[in-house]
Amino acid sequence: MSQHHQILIIGGGTAGIMVASQMLRKNPKADIALLEPADTHYYQPAWTLVGANTYDYEKTARSMASVMPSGVHWIKEYAENIDPENNKVTTKNGNEFTYDYLVVCPGLRMAPELVEGLPEAMDKGVVCSNYTNPKHTWEVLKNFKGGTALFTQPTTPIKCGGAPQKIMYLAEDHFKKSGVRNKTDIVFAIPGGVIFAVKVVANTLMKVIDRKDINIRFHHKLVKVDAENQIAWYELAKDIDAGGCIVMSGDNEGKKLDESIQYNYKDVKVTKEGDRYGIHFDMMHLAPPQAAPKFIAASPLSNDDGWVSVNDKTLQHTKYPNVFGLGDAAQLPTAKTGAAIRKQVPIVVANILNMIERNAVTNLAYNGYSSCPLVTGYGKMVLAEFDYSKEFKPDPKLKQFPLMIGDSSKEHWRLWILKKYLLPYLYWNKMMKGVEV
């Protein structure tokens, strides 16, 4: 089978549905086809709350049919091969679809195989992840009886960079309620050297770390998970013996602790083998490594790292002018979030409409805006908003909501209400329907 459409969209996630619905609002006669094999569309930002038993998983799911904009040709198939030279996409079923304009937003894929032992360990026993099975996360938290609670994240780009620590703050609250906090050490092992890239937000989060008595281990690259023995193996991205500092174990009395690697040190069990350090855990929550979908990485649209290569302001492909990329699969130097997509979609829509009429993009520019709603406990949240500069930049549009009064770089219950109630409402009732918010 072969079909031609004016605009072909790959992906029915946040980006794909928003592009289609906004495009139809601006041009109701547009011929739009959307490739998406899934039956269900998820509001994934709420999975953090599901993992802490404060949001119903079923409420995060709606049928794909219910969010698909009326007038879009829904092609319920997997894209397999992209041939931008011939304006053609071939599906796994062998069907061919040609286009005038292509919008590429298939999201990313979980890639646990990038860490040895992780595919076997994921979502089983005491290893959990809100990224893949938030209901299992809650089972792990509920059944935890004390010991070392390890939270960690990979070196790859991930959806919502703040998510691996949000569940940690909620877990700490839960451990207090369940009476196990006083026999628990919480360790946050991360590959970077700071807790968050935006300084004013990092300052707030470090106060949360102090209050909750959490040990952060910086420069930790997760390389292996031994689920049977409950050990997470790390390599350090920094020389820990420089300056005579010993940081990994409490056996070296009198040696200085290097705070650029260890903050608020806890003497949890660590085994050293060669240049690897194995942190023993009684539960572990992690963000698995993440990567671009394989069909994207194998296509002429990708850069060396497999992501869709686009101009970071216009979102137009760097080689093919009738191709646009956005969302998690795009190679953009900002956080991969729904908030980023909210700002990217109007740029893509305006540019395609202008290309159709004038064969040129507009002068609109995406500035890298993204935001991470950083839940810091039950009833508390910080809203980290920033752009390509990595400076704290609140969105004037959000400021119109009464909940947004005050400094959103500080913890507040109003922001928790925004996260739990207002943002899901805006998502389903405005964003999915093409209303710019």
**Per the residue annotation, which of 105, 128, 245, 372 is the catalytic one?**
372
Q: Quick check: 23 and 105 in contact, CB under 8 A?
A: no
Q: Quick check: 32 and 12 in contact, CB under 8 A?
A: no
Does residue 245 carry a catalytic annotation? no
**Per the residue annotation, which of 105, 128, 160, 245 is the catalytic one?**
160
Residue 274 in tokens: 């060669």
Does residue 160 carry a catalytic annotation? yes
Distance CA 63, CA 225 (A): 35
Contacts of 223 (CB under 8 A, 6+ apart): 115, 116, 233, 234, 235, 276
Q: Of 338, 328, 342, whose CA–CA distance to 10 is shortest?
A: 328
CB burial string 82-117: b at 16+ within 10 A, e below: bebeebbbbbeeeeebebebbbbbbbbbbbbebbeb
Q: Of 46, 30, 35, 29, whose CA–CA distance to 13 is shortest?
A: 35
CA distance to 149, 187, 284, 287, 389, per residue, from 116 (Å): 20, 21, 15, 14, 35
Catalytic residues: 160, 372
